[in-house]
Each structure stands twice: as structure tokens, then as C-alpha cells.
Amino acid sequence: MGQFIGIDVSLKESFISVRQGGQRIWRGPCPSDPKLIAEIIRKRAPNAERVVFETGPLSVWFYHALKQEGLPAICIDARHAKAALDMARNKTDANDADGLAHLAEVGFYRAVRVKSFDSMQTRTLVATRNQLVKMTTQLSNQIRGLMKTFGLVVPKGAGRVFEGHVRSLLASNAGLEQIILPVLEAWRSIRARTAELSKQLIASARVSEQCQLLSSIPGVGVVTASSFVAAIEDPENFRKSRSVGAWVGLTTRRYQSGEVDYDGHISRRGDNHLRGLLYEAATVILTRTTADSALRIWGLKLKEKIGFKRAAVAVARKLAMIMHTMLRTGELFDRSIPAEA
């Protein structure tokens, strides 16, 4: 008879629960090391059929490490598991492990596709670059605000132009210069690190045929293409291109109960960063792209009917479908292809 294991993963210590024949046969803590956990599972549950744990910061590492140890690891949606785990009278790590083991035994869970380390590395590169971009913007705004207090208004400009304006204005105020220059040097250093990560991202996109393919779409740049490829990984992960829009969270919620039946705002499920990039690309297509395409024409007509924001969401959703289709077929973006409503 097989055993079913639930693991409540934590940063330092994880709890393991083993069930067999509808009863718990063992439960105990273990350091959060996949190799140590695998040893305990092989000892306590030699016939393990499912090893279930929730999505979280350590889920990618745990999943691949347990798979390498030959265990049937399954990562499940934490939101789906929460409804079942909340049934326990007391919220403890041990009870959570029991609940996960019970879900593994009855098969009542929603498995999550765990991304590869290569995809996660690309996502980490994009996320780190974006964070540095935000930091440079915050520092430049901070410098402008501090200098404005003393009547030194920095003119519009970015990069070296901004730095030149700041240094020229500070030349007339030696006391303020000693305060602002360290902040300006930090801004300069972060900006240089951002440029280095941008070069890495561009170099990675140049050797990727999929990124080059998606970059043929007007309004889709290196960041959006790389993020989309890293998120989708294999186009065969989705049977229909239409499912990608729902997976990213660009489809409307539906609420139905008795006589009440209405559609609400978009679900906002899935990858927040990718959803924002798709919306940004859709905005560029509708406002800044000069080259006409069937997608842009369709979006502009929709804008006249339902407004800009809702039209941009619709274009972003359709853009996700088009990008997935391009990855699956290997065809470049064809502006003559009519966009379906």
C-alpha cells in the first residue's frame, strides 16, 4: 500500500506528515534541506506515491531537488490548498502538513507547473533590472525634491543631462553640495549597474530565436519578449492560445448565484509583472506605434466603443494569444492577418 506525504515548507524547518490507508502513520520536523527530507521520506515512506507541498519562495528549489532524489514531488496552488487547510481548528505547521498529506491522499489539489532554473534565471534578471530602474528613478526624484526646497529647480532631463544640471546648480551652494553629491554618486552607481544588466538581457535575447521572433511585433521589446518566453517556456504547455490570456489574469471574473450573473474586472491572476508588460505593450501599440497592423486597427476601433483602458486590456489579452501562436508556429508577426474580435 502506497504512502502519501505532505510537507509544510518553511525557511529553517519543515514539517512532514505521512499517511497510509486513511490514517497518519508518522509526523515530524526536519531541517529545510531537500536531501535530508528525501532521506526521511525514504525511511518513513518507502512506497511514496505523492509528495505534496505548496507554492512559495522555496518551491522551485524543493521541486527540482526532490525530483532529482527520485521522489514523486507535486507542487500545488497555495490558494487552492488554503481552503482545505483552514478547516483545521488550530493553525500550526504540523496541522498544515497533515492537511497537505490528506489532499495528496484524496487527490483533491491543483498541481502547478514549476518553471526550470533557466527560466527562473531570466525572470530574476528582468526583476533585478526593473528594481534598479525603480531605485534610480526614486533617487533622481529625491534629488529634485531636496534641491527644490532651496530654490534650485533641476530642469527636465535624464542621464548625463540630469547629472550635469545637478552639478551646475550645486556649485552655488557648497553646504548642500556635500549632502546631495553622495546621493548623486549612488544614483550614478546604480545606473551603471542597471546598464550592465540591460546588456546581459539584450545579449541573452539576441541568441534566443523565440525572443527574436516576438520582437518582430511592434511595441514588444526585449524585456517583454524575454519575460513572455520565460513564463511560457514550452508553447505546448497550453493547448489553446486563448488560455494564455486567462493564465496571465487578463480575462474578466464571473460571478453567478441564483438570479445574479455578471462579469467583473479582470481576475489579475498569474504573473503580475508579465501582465503589466503586456498592458504596457498594448498601450504602445495604441498610442505610439506608427506602423499600422490589424491588431492596432482593431484596438483603435474598440477604443472608440469602450474607452482606452478597457481597449488596452483587450489588446493585451489578444497580444498574449498572438505571441503564444507565434511561438508555437514559428511564424513572424504578420500585419496583414486580421485580428479576431
d(CA 104, CA 3): 9
* Backbone phi, psi, residue 60, to 5°: -65, -45
Measured between alpha carbons, how far is residue 303 from residues 220, 295, 307, 309, 319 in Å? 20, 12, 5, 8, 16
pLDDT-derived band at 339 (thresholds 50, 70, 90) equals very low
d(CA 190, CA 192): 5
Average pLDDT, the chain: 91
Is beta strand 48-54 parallel, antiparallel or unpaired with respect to 73-76?
parallel
What are the tens digits of pLDDT across the range 248-305? 999 888 777 777 777 778 888 888 999 999 999 999 999 998 778 889 999 999 999 9
How many CB atoms are located within 10 Å of the residue 225 CB?
A: 23
What mean pLDDT do residues 67-74 have? Answer: 95
pLDDT of residue 264: 77
Measured between alpha carbons, how far is residue 220 from residues 47, 155, 158, 316 in Å? 49, 31, 23, 11
Report which of residues 308 and 340 the model is more confident about. 308
What mean pLDDT do residues 201-226 have? Answer: 93
The DSSP symbol for 207 reads T
Measured between alpha carbons, how far is residue 168 from residues 16, 141, 181 in Å? 63, 17, 12
What are the tens digits of pLDDT across the range 44-70? 999 999 999 999 999 999 999 999 999
pLDDT of residue 197: 96
Highest mean pLDDT among 3-7, 83-87, 293-297: 3-7
pLDDT-derived band at 214 (thresholds 50, 70, 90) equals very high
Q: What's the predicted TM-score (pTM) here?
A: 0.83
Res 78 pLDDT > 50: yes
Res 237 pLDDT > 50: yes
pLDDT of residue 341: 38
What mean pLDDT do residues 79-94 have? Answer: 85
What dihedral do alpha carbons 131, 133, 135, 137 form, nearest 10°?
-150
What are the tens digits of pLDDT across the range 110-152? 899 999 999 999 999 999 999 999 999 999 999 999 999 999 9
What are the tens digits of pLDDT across the range 165-193? 999 999 988 889 999 999 999 999 999 99
pLDDT over 90 percentage in the chain: 77
pLDDT of residue 281: 94
Q: Which three cell numbers stand for residue 146?
A: 531636496
pLDDT over 70 percentage in the chain: 98
* Backbone phi, psi, residue 22, to 5°: 80, 5
pLDDT of residue 336: 62
Report which of residues 38 and 338 the model is more confident about. 38
> CB burial class (10 A; 0-12, 13-18, 19+) of residue 276?
middle
